[in-house]
Structure 1
Amino acid sequence: MANWTEIDQQVKTWIMEAGDSIRESFKHSLSIHTKSNPNDLVTNIDEETERFFISNIRKAYPGHSILGEEGQGDDLTSLKGIVWMIDPIDGTMNFVHQQRHFAISIGIYENGVGRLGYVYDVAHDELYYAERGNGAYMNGVRLPSLTEVRLEKALVAVNATWLVKNKYFDEKKLVDLAIRARGTRSYGSAAIELAYVASGRLDCYLSMRLSPWDFAAGKILVEEVGGIMTNLAGEELDLLKTNSIFAGAPVLHGQILNDFLVRK
């Protein structure tokens, strides 16, 4: 049986060490290349940080499996056992251009159930973390349960690109959603945006396409403060595939889902 307290302390130690290394890299030039398209960037720091975590996990927990964004983990077809989902730098474009609004994201699942989640905003030294059944925290301060707000007073996170060009949902309804809300934001890091939902800095977050390592940690955070996280059709997420994502407090989630997302 896993010792989750021990694992939690170990992960926090690794995250702080990795964060120090990333901040140190600000002083040096980056090696940057692309993946699937010219805007899908990866740097030597992404790859080095992922290697750092994977090497430590392999040594400390050889029976665990790993899903990593940069392809250095395992090729999994199931979530049996304990699985680590790692994004060494979520928000690489922000990291490259701004050195702000990027995060280390780690979600640890046991037989498909989220047990531990971590989102570390490196530039602001803010560590959001949660353990299933024990709440969510930011730098040691417990986050309160989410409070419900009406859409007209809600701050909604959505990438503006999805509002004007997408093949999944009625663009006019998404524009109406943005108009009805108090305001919209886009930070360019799913991990940070989900952490902001969990901490109440945002009221909900929508994305058309995210990989498991993008949202695995954030899902645990959001659920530990009473939030709901589904795809944009209101369905359960598949942790082994790309998903659309919709996270928020239950009443607001239901209102937006019914009024703007479900095709009628």
Structure 2
Amino acid sequence: MEKILCEAIRAAKLAGQKIKELRENRGYKEYLKNGHELVTTADLISDNIIKTELSKAFPEHKFISEESTLENGFIIKEPTWIIDPIDGTVGYANDHYQVAISIAFAINDVVEVGVVHNPFLDETFYAVRGKGAFLNNKKIKVKPVNELKQCVIGTGFPHNKDNIDRIIETLRLILPKIRDIRRLGSPALDICWVACGRLQGFYEEKLFPWDVAAAKLIASEANAAVGHYSIENNSNLPSCLNCYSVIVSSPDIFEELKVILTAAI
């Protein structure tokens, strides 16, 4: 797994450098996918760099990516890379710094390696299953808290706003119970921020496997509690890719947070 990790970090940093250059030079175009989701040509360039570099090192491996057709759906029996070439595209297109490249490696429905790289802040979160979680080579752990009112909680909102009433109801229930709330615009970074203690919890109702695959492993290896707050979460997905009604938090406030989120459903 050491070679897997090294190649994932290398590919993430190469793609990160390129998307930085593209933004500095305004060398990308924007368009909408599915009528409401922002995509840029930088997403596609990043995707191509990552796949090209990883394919050089591991020519037999398969890919699941936000920006390309799925080769075998979400079946992960063979060695497979799960990629989000730009997590936080809206932030990227608006000169924000909370933008990430997420790369996970999985086999037999288990993520073994996760890398989340923020090229604008030069921060690389990573983990190998069973080996702990790290930020720029320094081991990280969740912040120990035992009351929800001590906590800063992260969340995100979907591109499609059809379910806005439930989102607002969830916020109405949770805001009085916590210290504050944050919205970074990159769920992979939100989850990694729980892992390193900058946030004490994160929730979001509907994400995608590439949003969570690497970050959930990093958080778990940093001793975070990782789970779901809806019985409707998609059991057809492997656990490592289950992206519905996600909660990631410091362990001692997980159940309290889950009760509030479940009440909003």
Provide TM-score, normalisation by structure 2: 0.88
Aligned residues: 259
Report the AA paired with residue 256 of structure 1.
Answer: L
Report the AA paired with residue 252 of structure 2.
Answer: V
Give runs of aligned pairs for residues 96-245 of structure 1, distance below 5 A.
96-159=93-156, 166=163, 172=169, 174-233=171-230, 238-239=237-238, 243-245=244-246
Report the AA paired with residue 181 of structure 1.
Answer: I
Q: Is the 8 A contact 2:157 2:204 kept in 1?
A: no
Specify the SS of the correspondent of 1:206: strand
Cα distance between partner residues in 1 of 2:116 and 2:189? 7
Deviations 1:31-67 (A, max 9, x none): 11110123x1111110011011112222321222210
Residue 160 to residue 132, structure 1, CA distance change in 2 (3 Å):
closer
Residue 263 to residue 157, structure 1, CA distance change in 2 (3 Å):
closer
Displacement of 1:246 in angstroms is: 1.1
Displacement of 1:251 in angstroms is: 2.3
> Which residue of structure 1 lines up, in the alignment, with residue 4 of structure 2?
7
RCO comparison, higher one (Cα < 8 Å, 6+): 2
Report the AA paired with residue 194 of structure 1.
Answer: I
Percent identity of the aligned residues? 25
Q: Is the 8 A contact 1:51 1:72 kept in 2?
A: no
> Which residue of structure 2 lines up, in the alignment, with residue 256 of structure 1?
257
Provide TM-score, normalisation by structure 1: 0.88
Q: Is the 8 A contact 2:142 2:194 kept in 1?
A: no
Q: Is the 8 A contact 2:224 2:248 kept in 1?
A: yes
Q: Indicate the RMSD between aligned Cα atoms, in angstroms.
A: 2.6
Q: Point out the more displaced range, 253-262 or 235-244.
A: 235-244
> Unaligned stretches of 5+ in structure 1?
none
Cα distance between partner residues in 2 of 1:73 and 1:66? 7
Specify the SS of the correspondent of 1:230: strand
Q: Is the 8 A contact 2:125 2:135 kept in 1?
A: yes
Q: Does 1:41 align with 2:38?
A: yes
Q: Point out the more displaced range, 11-20 or 189-198.
A: 11-20
Q: Point out the more displaced range, 171-180 or 15-24.
A: 171-180
Cα distance between partner residues in 2 of 1:125 and 1:142? 16
> Which residue of structure 1 lines up, in the alignment, with residue 51 of structure 2?
54
